[in-house]
Structure formats: structure tokens, C-alpha cells
Amino acid sequence: MVNVVAEPGAPAGKGLRAGSLGLISSVVIAVSSTAPAYAMAATLGLIVAVVGVHSPGTLIVSFLPMLCIAYAFRELNKADPDCGTTFTWTTRAFGPWAGWMGGWGIIAADVIVMASLSQIAGRYALLLVGADGLAAQAFWVTACGVVFIGLLTWICYRGIEVSARLQQALLAIELVALAVFAVVAFVKAGTGHALPGAAHPSAGWLNPWTGSFGSAANSFLLAVFIYWGWDCALSVNEETKDKTRTPGRAAVMSTVVLVAVFAVVSTAALAFAGPAFLAQHSTDVLGAMSSAVLGSTAGKLLILCVLTSAAASTQTTIMPTARAVLAMAAHQALPAGSRRCTGASARPRRPRWRWARSPPSATSR
């Protein structure tokens, strides 16, 4: 008996520029979408408040399920490299309505996260230029955030190559700033110039277990937020060279890069400031340590770091959102009016689905 799965009707074409991205660009997009600096600034203190000095171990262990998911996404992309990702794959596996819900779930989540990230970008842009008073006012922060969304949407409209080059520049600034912070923090901790309450690094920090299942569960849930976003590399799969292999490899490689960044930065922060300081300043641990680690002037580097991180993640949130909508429109899973806006065929008013043959076997690949 032949297994039967549901999938969207195959579109004639989505108008995406194939072969525009290489492996490095795909990895950059995946890492940028996670916003490592912003994620650490906003979440590290909360994890420390739960598990203390075991935070580096929690971040490392939390990487393992992400790595498994990245491998699973790699195989899904190998079987069906469609920019709809969750929408397309869920439809093939569980049917059209499950896929439709998955697609809209991704779109809704991206819109919410986009607003949050643009707000952070707007606030840190004002802090960078010394407008601390305006940075505390919701109106000006919102106005700057709207400007960021408009500018980054225009860059995405210009093309995937322009977007990739901007991502490379923003991620370079972000990683260099985090590297400088980590090196200086380790040096000051080793020379006795750390903050009161600083902790001496120990191999026990790599152990996530604190003796409480509740603490472990809470810290893992927080770590999920830190790692969220690397799947953006798969949403641009149709614009990647060797689209059946490169996006999946980029997803796996990006998780490895992220766990290295998170482990080093969290260890440096604990060694310099200690768990009590980080838990007390959980809303923005990097901002709280910037002047103490780098001085008042060089401390602006960490503000720039979080700004570029939030801006890069805002752009890489726009990219998968647009491609999810495009895929749903191309597969006729959106109303006719929205399909006209995306340039997809608007003939049917209701989604038309076809029953496809069995998924490709391992030998056929």
C-alpha cells in the first residue's frame, strides 16, 4: 500500500533569485537572526537568577536539542527545499490545515518579535548618541523603531545580496564587540580588577544540574529564547547555492557558533561580575557591565553591539516572514487578494491542495 501525504499544489515559481547565497552568507544570516548580543543582554541575568554559576553548563546542554532540531531541519530541507519551511513541511506530513496553522503561527510570532526587536534597536540608537532622556520615552523609542523597520524592509526589498552584505557587516561588529568584552573581562578578573562578588571560574560551571528539576526546567525554557532564530537560514533556501544541502549545513554550523559565543560570554560575565550582580541587573547585563569592563567611552561599544544585534535580527525576522507569506500565496493557501499582493496567481478563492506521492526514500536521495 502506498503511503499518502498532503502537500500544497506545486507553484510555477516564486520569483526568488536562485543561487545568490553561499554557505558563509547563510551561516551569517542564521547567527544574526538569533541576535546573540541582545539575547545575552536580555536573558543571561534571568538564567543566572535561576541556576547561578551553572549558567554556562545550562547554555551548553540546551544546545544539544537545538543541534538535533537543526539536523532534522537539514533533512527536511534536503527532501523539500521550499522557502515555506514549516508551512510546507507540516502540510506534507500532517495535512493542509496543520500546515496552514503552522504557517500563520510563524507569521504571527515573527511580527510580534519584530516589534520587540525594533523597539530595542530604537532605544539603543538613542543611547548611542547620548539621548538618554529620549530613550526613556515610549514615543521616541517607538518612532525610532518604526524607522528601523521601514529602512530594513527597504533593504530586504532591494534584494537578498544587499541584505546578506548588511548582515555580514552587522554581525562582524557584534562578534568583535563581544570578543573584546570577553577578553577584557577575563583579564580584569584574572588581575584582581573584577567587581565585588566576582566568581572564580570552575569546571563545575559546566554542570547544569543544581539539584532541582524545577530550576533545570526553568533555565532550559529561558535558553530556548536565546537560541531562537537560526532557522532563518532555511527560509532563504531557494536563494542559496545547492539549495538541498547548503541551508541545512548552515543551520547546523550556526548552532555550533552560537553555543561557543554563549559559553564564552556567560563565563566571562560570571568571572567579572559574579552571579549576584548579573541577577540584579537581569534586564540588561551587558549594559550594566559596559562601563566597568571597558570604561565610559569604550563602553559605548557594547551599546553599539546590542544595537547592531537587534537591527540585524529585525531584518532577519522580516526575511522569513515575507517568504512564509510568499510560499503560502504561491501554494494558494491565502485569500485571493493577498495572493495578488505577492504576485502569485489569484485564480482560486480557496486553497487547492493535491495529494502527492510518498516522500522520497533514503535510496532515492
d(CA 228, CA 196): 33
Neighbours of 307 (CB within 10 A): 27
pLDDT for 123:
87
Q: Is the predicted pLDDT of residue 263 greater than 90, yes or no?
A: yes
Highest CATH level, class, for 21-339: mainly alpha
Kindly indicate the confidence band of residue 1, based on its pLDDT and cuts at 50, 70 and 90: very low
- Averaged pLDDT, 270-278: 91
More confident residue, 130 or 90: 90
Tell me the three state secondary structure of residue 322: helix
pLDDT for 286:
86
Alpha helices in 53-137 (DSSP H): 55-79, 86-94, 96-128, 132-135
What rounded mean pLDDT belongs to the chain? 83
pLDDT for 343:
52
pTM (predicted TM-score)? 0.82
Summarised one tens digit per residue, pLDDT across range 210-255 is: 777 888 888 888 888 888 888 888 999 988 999 999 999 999 999 9
Q: Is the predicted pLDDT of residue 360 greater than 70, yes or no?
A: no
Summarised one tens digit per residue, pLDDT across range 315-345 is: 888 888 888 888 888 888 877 655 555 555 4
Concatenating the DSSP letter of every residue in 186-254 gives HHHHHTT-SPTT-----GGGG----S-HHHHHHHHHHHHHHHTTTTHHHHTGGGBTTTTTHHHHHHHHH
Give the dihedral of Cα atoms 327, 328, 331, 332; nearest 10 deg.
-150
Per-domain residue ranges of the chain: 21-339
C-alpha distances in Å from residue 312, one per residue of 37, 165, 231, 304: 11, 11, 15, 12
Kindly indicate the confidence band of residue 114, based on its pLDDT and cuts at 50, 70 and 90: confident
Give the H/E segment covering residue 6: strand 5-8
Beta carbons within 8 Å of 355's beta carbon, 6+ residues apart: 4, 5, 6
pLDDT for 350:
43
Q: Which amino acid is at 14?
A: K
